[in-house]
Amino acid sequence: MALVRMKRADALLAMDSEAAERIWSLALARAVQDEMGVPLRITGFRLERRSLGELAEMLPEMALICALDEGAGEATGVAVLDAALMAGMVEAMTTGVITPADRGGARRPTRTDAALLAPVLDRALTALEAGANEAGLSDLARGFRFAATVDGARGLSLLLEDVPYRLLAAEVDIAAGARQGAVLLAFPEGRAVGGMLAPVVADGDFTAALAQQVGGAEARLEAVLIRLTLPLGAVMELQVGQDLALPRADIARVFIEGLDGRRVATGKLGRNGSLRAIRLVAEAEAPALPAAPVPARVERR
């Protein structure tokens, strides 16, 4: 019986691949055109079933990996842009000019890249959801949106559940071939394509073991005194020794944030022996933000 269900699911996957390609191609092309002002074309597409381990092995080198959630605050899916394509999209949004791949070179993605491209991704996912609803592809219409960036294959393996995934793998080019690259979109196979149920059976022993491993993993936190927004032109002209005003900054009110930028605690800057330290405080204990700006000096690091 299980073999019959698997064969039926494979048949549905093959039948719906064409519809998924049409919907995702249109959603992604419109999002890139609306947000970036450049055309995008999908040159290759496949819809597959993959395990979490297989997904991790497929990640391009130095890719921008974006965790997706379905509105419940828990990452359940993933979108991936390879480094060359990501760099071209960022160039289009910041300078309006896309450098050819052979001159642009690959670089490691940053949180700034993710912040710039998150609206493009969310617009494409919104259109994918609407198109899937119209086509009756329930497994695609699940309200996925950008949640956070993920640090490599190991981070992805720790973040997502070890269940079967639907993979939409697309090869695209933007700006009439100025840049080419891969876009991967994967989501858990909780509901099979075409409305057929494919529930995932939870393994209590595995869940407990995973919780034990995750509980002992390192978590990187950042202490943020203040975030400053400046025009891109002003940032490009920064010089060593230049004074910057940090309005509303206060060493008695330092925010502790995770890699996804979400605030997890508030503290005060101080010392612990010869080391700088942050003493965590309750929000009620934190002083009100000052109105007067505090000058700061740009130093060579």
With 50 as the cut, is the pLDDT of residue 6 above it? no
With 70 as the cut, is the pLDDT of residue 285 above it? no
Of the listed ranges 11-25, 119-133, 252-266, the least confidently predicted one is 11-25
pLDDT at 13: 53
Percent of the chain with pLDDT over 70: 77
Q: 76-97: per-residue pLDDT in tens?
A: 899 999 988 998 899 888 888 8
pLDDT at 125: 94
Mean pLDDT calculated for residue range 247-253: 78
pLDDT at 211: 67
Q: 44: pLDDT confidence band, cut at 50, 70 and 90? A: very high
pTM above 0.85, yes or no: no
160: which residues sit within 8 A by CB, 6+ positions away? 52, 67, 75, 76, 77, 78, 188
Phi and psi angles of residue 42, each rounded to the nearest 5 degrees, phi first: -85, 120
Q: 195: pLDDT confidence band, cut at 50, 70 and 90? A: very low
With 80 as the cut, is the pLDDT of residue 134 above it? yes
pLDDT at 29: 94
